[in-house]
Amino acid sequence: MFDRLHATCLSWAGAMALATGAALVAGGGGQARAADAAERAIIGFSPDGAYFAFEQYGIQDGSGFPYSDVFVLETATDSWVRGTPARELVRNEAVSVDQVRQTARKRIDPYLWRLNIGVNGKTLVSDRAADARDAARFLPFTLADDGDKLGLGTVRLRLTEIAMPKEDCTALGVSPHGYALVLENEAGEPLRILHEDTSIPASRGCPVHYGLSDIIVYPRSGEGPVLVVLLSIYQFGFEGLDRRFLALSTTFDTNPSTQ
């Protein structure tokens, strides 16, 4: 699986602030709140389910600058469409998030138009927790057969955090983690490993925790469904943990319980 996360670059105001922030993250417990908790908006799929788009947006902690990132995913390969994402960061606190979102949307509109993206999928589960300590790491869900025996049935996702070294994070006093994501059947037997880290990409910064945010299914006529999972990633930030999102996609030719 390809990891595609836009980690907003942060600047630290001197060594004292850096050391203090690292101590807060390393301390765990009550410091699991998201200082800059990005929001997300699902834009939709192309009619054939081949492409999926979503947005993350918010206000940077520390700087107070608004940002918006719009991602377009090719679902069969779990990779971003060339030329995307569209990222907007305005270094002016007086500019609103809505203004920045509009600018990012204008930049991405040609891609959405060309790929015909805008068809709704079915959001089966949506976890609105903003804090790492409340984020879901195990979610069951059901998508009934629609007559062609290609529904997912009753399955569940299990997210596991994996302690993993990353030199620049360790130097800050942060204990970084990667993750594994497995699709299981109702009995808890693995159907498919959707992702398993062997190292932490530089794009994630210093990830401390992860959470399951959204499970989205797009049924395809005569084929198995497309499954998209949005995960929260809680990374080291200026005032605490900053939440960003990453997306994973997989497709099924038939019901996964028979694969």
Which of 59, 53, 22, 52 has the alpha carbon at shortest distance from 38? 59
Would residue 169 count as lying in a domain? yes
Segments forming the whole domain that contains residue 207: 14-258
Would residue 8 count as lying in a domain? no
For 229-240, how does the pLDDT look when each residue is reduced to its tens digit (9 = 90+)? 999 999 998 888
Would residue 82 count as lying in a domain? yes
Would residue 131 count as lying in a domain? yes
Would residue 175 count as lying in a domain? yes
Query: Whole-prediction pTM value?
Result: 0.82
For 74-95, how does the pLDDT look when each residue is reduced to its tens digit (9 = 90+)? 999 999 999 999 999 999 999 9
For 132-154, how does the pLDDT look when each residue is reduced to its tens digit (9 = 90+)? 989 999 999 887 666 555 567 88
Would residue 91 count as lying in a domain? yes
**What is residue 211's predicted lDDT score, i.e. its pLDDT?**
97
**What is residue 169's predicted lDDT score, i.e. its pLDDT?**
93
- Say which range, 35-39, 52-56, 197-201, 220-224, has the weakest mean pLDDT: 220-224
Q: Report the domain count for the chain.
A: 1
Would residue 249 count as lying in a domain? yes
**What is residue 145's predicted lDDT score, i.e. its pLDDT?**
66
Would residue 4 count as lying in a domain? no
- Say which range, 21-25, 41-45, 60-64, has the weakest mean pLDDT: 21-25
Does residue 223 register a pLDDT over 90?
no
